Structures are given as C-alpha cells and as structure tokens.
Copies of this chain bind each other. A is one copy, B any other.
Amino acid sequence: MIRGKTDRSETASQQGLKAKRANRAGNLADHVYTSLRRAIIEQALAPGTKLPEDSVGTSFGVSRTVVRSAIVRLVAEGLMVQQPNMRATVASPSLEEARAIFRVRRGLERMVLEELMPRLERSHLTRLRAHVASEEQAKRHSEPETIRLSGEFHLLLAQFTGNELLIRYVSEVVSRGSLILALYGRPHSSECAVNEHLTLIDAMEKGDLAEAVRLMDEHLVAVATRGLLDTDVKRERSLQDILSAYRPAGEG
C-alpha cells in the first residue's frame, strides 16, 4: 500500500499526539518515560510485568519509536530489564541485588547529609517538615501516594545539596527502593517511616551530622529489613487498564 501524504494526520493516535504536543513541545518520549516511571514506583506496574512496546504505545497514543526510547532509559536506570528480542519487563531484583542496592543507597544518603549539613538553611527544615506533614496526611488514605511521598522525602534532601549527579543517583536508588518494597515489603511497611523522618530532621536542626548520619543509616536499614516476609502476589490487571490512569498526567 502506498502511503499518501495526508494519511498519517487522520490516525487516532496522531490526534492524541497533537493534544500532548500542544501542552509541551517535543517530549512525547519524556512523557512516556515519566509516566511509566511513576507507574512502576507507585507499584501499579508490578515487578516482572511485561511491557510490549506496541501495547504501551497504544495506551499512550504514540508509536513504538517513542516507547522504545523511554524503555531504553528505564533500562539504563535499572527500573526495567530487557534481553535481546524479548519484551522488556519491570525489574524484579533478587534479594541479593536488593541488599546491594540498599548498601549503595546508604552510602549515597550519607553523602547527601555530608554535603547538605554545612550549608543547611532554615527554609530547608521548614520544607522538610511540611513534606513530612503531607506524608502523614497521605498515610491514612492512599497507599501508593504514601510510598511515593516517602521516597520523595529523600529526594528532597538530595535536591537541597544542589549536586546534580547526587540527585540523580539518589533518585535512582529511591525508585528502585520502591520497586524492592513492592516485591518484598509488607503492606504497611512505610507507615513507621514517618517518625524516623521527623527525628532525622530534628538531628539536622541541631547541626549534629554524626547523629543525622546514624539516624539515616538506621532508617534505611529499617526500611530495608522491614521487607522480607509476606511475599503476597499481586492480582492481575490488564496493562491497558493500569496505564490508562497515567495517560492524562497533569504534571508541572
């Protein structure tokens, strides 16, 4: 079949495309990347879930090309894995790997504190406390929200350092942490974390680096070990169904 010039503009997917593009120039791939990422972190896409490029593309109203580059990034980041000629899947780290990741995370978060403490501002403390407040609020109604916010607390800390690379790395280990909790964590494991966040902030306010590092370490060990038992299998849902919630995505 000879593809006419105007052919493409009639496609349904093309319309969706244009809608998105009106909002923001050129980053369809970014959008898919961000959405998939969030879906994984919020555990809507369970570890091991297979993500065929076609299906994902259909869900977002984009072509495989776009999905592909999003997946490449996710794989590079360790949130997905892929073997040649096979469907990419949401990463499903072994316990061994999980532990290794948490060890790295401990080191990274120590670095965060070491970078941040000398230049800590009052506004930082305020924002951290505000964040913890919203964590507390989310705790009582939304499980995925809680998970996300709990991770974002650590991300916030990293962001205050202003060190781009550190931010990226922390962001990665935090994401993968969520993934790991999705795999091995018990249902309400993030619950206790809120208090630990608060005591950490207190230590920071006192300017006690050593104590802050100790608390952070403790906190992370706690988070890491709170997982292990209760490997309850998530019920199956259709891919289209799951991703439909991530399509609108009114993010800033």
Measured CA separation A25–B26 after assembly (Å): 32
Contact B72 A25 (CB under 8 A): no
In the complex this chain forms, how many copies of it are found? 2
Majority SS at the chain A contact face: helix
A115: chain B residues at CB < 8 Å are 103
- Expressed in whole angstroms, the Cα–Cα distance for A173 and B111 within the complex equals 15
Given A104-B111, A111-B104, check contact A76 B76 (CB 8 Å): yes
Residue of B nearest to A24 (CB): B84
Would you give the shortest CB distance from A66 to chain B, in whole angstroms? Answer: 11
Query: Is there an interface contact between A107 and B107, defined as CB atoms closer than 8 Å?
Result: yes
Contact B108 A164 (CB under 8 A): no
**Distance in Å from the Cβ of A221 to the closest Cβ of chain B?**
15
> Which residues of A pack against B, CB within 8 Å?
2, 25-27, 65, 68-69, 72-73, 76-78, 84-85, 97, 100-101, 103-104, 107-108, 110-111, 114-115, 163-166, 168-169, 173
